[in-house]
Structure 1
Amino acid sequence: MAWAEDLDALTSRIAGPLFTRPEPRATFADLVRGLLADVPRKNSWQLADHMGHKNAYRFEWLLNGAKWDADLLRDEIRAYVVAHLGESDGVLIADDTQAIKKGDKSVGVAPQHCGATGQIENCQVLPMLTYASSLGHAFVNRRLYLPKGWTDDPVRLKTAGVPEKVTFETKPQQVIAMLAEELKAGTPFGWFTADSGYGRDPALRAYCHDQRLAYVMAIPVDLPLVGSRGQATRADKAASLLKPEVFERRSCGDGTKGGRFYDWAAVAVTVKDQPPAGGMTHTLLIRRSTSDPGDVELFLCHAPASTPVPKLIAVAGMRWKIEENNEHGKDLLGLNEYQVRKWTPWHRHVTTCMLAAAFLAVTHAHQGKAPTTSVGAICNHPA
């Protein structure tokens, strides 16, 4: 099959600079192939059994003991995604996902909000960055969030193998760091988007302004704005002043059931104490459900003054791409099924899952299809 040849070529090329010996190269290729296979749970034991290994030792050693750089793998994934999916007006999308874990030893685990269940869970939080274009979408960067209960405990950090240079960062600060890495790497993108958990953060918005990055970020209803007379106001109040006839029904992209249609309106706004970059403006974009007018989401847009509203709507709609990546990563590729506890193995497992996801996205892009919810047909048997 062509996909098998493509996968072998990809893993061989990437494994070359990662490993000095042939044994870990072969184990790495097996791990990627196993993650793409139809295995009930993507832990080391079940993957080893599927790939015909006598036990899980080779996979466990690759993640825990071998010498290799997960950041170098991340860079190779980015280059691969850009080579096949890159476009000048690509979109970088930030979101976090969670891995529910037992106990308190796994690095970063703590009682914290879990988006999957909508409540507090004992989990790890993974801020992720997806690259999306008209050709497809895949993860290109990742972080592990460490709550202050971790960063304020040197013994706990040392036990989990966290490097001494790692200090507490909020999730928006971690996204800023990932954006800086994408800019340094020359990743071709024209837009950034994220949900209101990031859109509410003034430091993240300020970074985008300083770097002249265009964005469409969801925002909380109480985002401080300045009214036309210089008075203090809020995003929801500015939206409430719009007349019903200014809304237009438009699709912000295709979903599993076709176009995702909403009623949209846009109005120029001034953000309190945070002017846009030169030549760019702030626009409040309002999305209203077609079936429930009370279901409203607000977006703050930072873009060149000539940007048409349909373009802002299209970028807002791209935010769902990372939710698809998070869902597929967990359901299909074992993104949250690791049995490692320490810092370095965590980064190795998650980054290897990113490679499997990127291969799947590129394969479907070449076939002219969107990623499906089944990888069994892609890679169901060991070599």
Structure 2
Amino acid sequence: MGSGEGWRDDLERWLEPFLAGLSHPARRRMCPLYVAGLIGPGDRKGVQPMAARSGEAGYDQLHHFVAAGVWVSAPLEAALLRETDRLVGDERGFLVIDDTALPKKGQHSVGVAAQYASALGKTSNCQSLVSVTLACREVPIMVGLRLFLPETWTSDPERMTRAGVPTNRQGASTKPEIAIQEIDRVLASGTRFGCVLADAGYGSSGVFRQALSERGLLWAVGLSRRQNVYPADVGLIIPVAKTGKWRQYHIADQLPVAAETMLAGERWQTISWRRGTRGRLTCLFAARRIRVADGHKYRMSDNRMQCMPGDEVWLVGERRPSGEQKYYVSNLPAETPLRRLAAAIKARWVCEQAHQRLKEELGLDHFEGRSWTGLHRNTLMTMIAFAFLQDRRLKAAGRKKESAVLRLSRACRPFGKPFSTSSHDHKRDDAHIVEGAAIPKPNLIAKVVLD
């Protein structure tokens, strides 16, 4: 991390749209100090160590700001969405839905329970948050982190009240339901993106996929390999009843099969979607048009319930070099080439990068408060800090791009090859700066942008 302190002045200016949402002067003073504490040096980013390093605010002041102060987060969340849209909002971008776990000891921190932690790959005592990340050209900025309350909490109103869970959040909500609420918030802000991405934890929910389609959104999400699907050309018939009333609903003229069975006989192609640190990333992919068995349920003659075909979508399979197989569905247009389907599906990795950066560099999982309010205010401050770092990263990449243009211009002149350096050309280059080699590697963001 750079020794210069110029970034602190930049942070003060950058935070002005956020500070406008804080009416009290003391809170407008604490917010920059808290965000600077998250960005600054130090291995631990809890309130106490940040206060000790700051020298400008005591522990009680910082803790009161984040955990007990009377202020509303909504204006700051709206400002974060506006800034994020300015930085990476694009009709070609992605809104990535995922979840991340914060390991915790004890049982008093809000939402803590023994549940699956994706970061650890096992069930552990932790808090689980639904995350929403806006990304374009491999540049992610997180805009939402909302706590999931497991059944051990939603079944105990007194416990939730002690932890300060708002009454409108005390009902049981699944992670896909929380994700849809967050997506609605992003849509209401006018933030630009082109496609929603999610893993099978969300994509296997037919209700989640249907909710995305009802909102007119394109999506590419994970799917269980055991999910029943029909071929796209499945026929629908009305069975003739021998006795009783006529049947009212269509049924399929074919039986559904598992997603992995549907693609077993397809032609698998080697697809490369981007360059990694060790060269091009490639896997085997196959795709075909299908209809997921998530329509109305029908009781068959053998008394078995069977889901009827839903809308026509893409079924995509991925075979990794390790032997692992993954399956996805997408409502991208029928003419979409396999390479584009694969690129959209694999773009979800940027949210994992964002989770890692927020934890390793900004101490997302260091917060020691127990309340709902404190947890969500800390996650908000962490996302604001990350957005600031990404802003500086993009500006640094733009300056390097501009320097490269000027160097090339000077190199061309002696040979009578004028090279345009007009403002129009600069703007055209800036639109693609994140695709150039001048961008710092993501794991060097905190080091580079503060120099």
Normalised by the length of structure 1, the TM-score is 0.91
Contact 1:38–1:375 (8 Å) recurs in 2? no
- Match for 2:263 among 236, 239, 243? 239
Alignment of 1:312-351 (within 5 A): 312-351=341-380
Q: Does 1:170 align with 2:174?
A: yes
Distance (Å, rounded) in 2 between the aligned partners of 1:6 and 1:264: 45
Asked if the contact 1:38/1:376 (under 8 Å) is kept, the reply is no
Cα gap change, 1:90 to 1:377, in 2 (>3 Å): closer
Superposition deviation, residue 100 in structure 1: 1.0
For the structure 1 residues 254 and 48, does the alpha-carbon distance in structure 2 shift closer, same or farther, using more than 3 Å as the test? farther
Correspondence 1:372 to 2:403: no
Q: Check if 1:22 corresponds to 2:25.
A: yes
Counterpart Cα distance in 1 of 2:447 and 2:319: 38
Deviates more, 1:45-54 or 1:113-122: 45-54
Q: 1: CA distance between counterparts of 2:265 and 2:230?
A: 14
Residue 34 of structure 1: how far off its partner (Å): 1.3
| CA deviations over 1:46-96 (Å, ceiling 9, x no partner) | 111221246311210111222222232222111101011111121000111
- Is contact 1:70-1:348 (8 Å) kept? yes
Q: How does 1:218-367 map to 2 (within 5 A)?
A: 218-227=222-231, 230-242=254-266, 246-274=267-295, 281-289=312-320, 291-292=321-322, 294-367=323-396
Distance 1:259 1:37 in 2: 35
How far is 1:374 from its partner?
Answer: 5.4
- Select between 196-205 and 130-139 the one with higher mean Cα deviation: 130-139
1:81-230 pair list within 5 angstroms:
81-134=84-137, 136-166=139-169, 167-227=171-231, 230=254
Determine the C-alpha separation between the residues in 2 that align with 1:344 and 1:191: 31
Aligned-partner residue type, residue 386 of structure 2: A
1:38–1:379 CA contact under 8 A, matched in 2: no
Give me the TM-score of the superposition, normalised by structure 2.
Answer: 0.78
Q: Distance in 2 between matches of 1:135 and 1:86?
A: 12
Is 1:50 matched with 2:53?
Answer: yes
Does structure 2 retain, via aligned residues, the 8 Å contact 1:12–1:29? Answer: no
1:12 aligns to what? 16
Question: What is the Cα deviation at residue 3 of structure 1?
Answer: 4.1
Higher-RCO chain (CA-CA 8 Å, sequence separation at least 6)? 1
Deviation of 1:42 (Å): 0.3
- For the Cα contact (< 8 Å) 2:268–2:285, is it kept in 1? yes
Note the residue ranges of structure 1 that are not aligned, 5 or more in a row.
none
| Aligned-pair CA distance for 1:304 | 2.1
Could you tell me how far 1:151 is from its partner in structure 2?
A: 1.2
CA distance in 2, matches of 1:37, 1:119: 32
Rounded Cα–Cα distance in structure 2 between residues aligned with 1:309 and 1:374: 33
Per-residue deviation, residues 264-299 of structure 1 (Å, max 9, x unmatched):
22111111134666xxx411111112x34x322111
Describe the superposition over 1:142-187 as per-residue Cα deviations: whole angstroms up to 9, x where unpaired.
2100112111111111111111111110111111111111222222
Q: Check conservation: 1:36, 1:376, Cα contact below 8 A.
A: no
Q: Which deviates more, 50-59 or 142-151? A: 50-59
Whether 1:77 aligns to 2:80 is yes
- Closer/same/farther in 2, CA of residues 376 and 35 from structure 1, 3 Å limit: farther
Once residues 55 and 137 of structure 1 are traced to their aligned partners in structure 2, the CA distance between those partners, rounded to angstroms, is 33
Partner of 1:34: 37
| Number of positions where the alignment pairs a residue of Structure 1 with one of Structure 2 | 371
Calculate percent identity across the aligned residue pairs: 28
Shift of 1:311: 1.8
Partner SS state of residue 281, structure 2: strand
**AA in 2 matched with 1:67:** V
Q: 1:104-129: per-residue Cα shift (whole Å, max 9, x none)?
A: 11110111111122222111001100
Counterparts of 1:322 and 1:174, CA distance in 2: 17
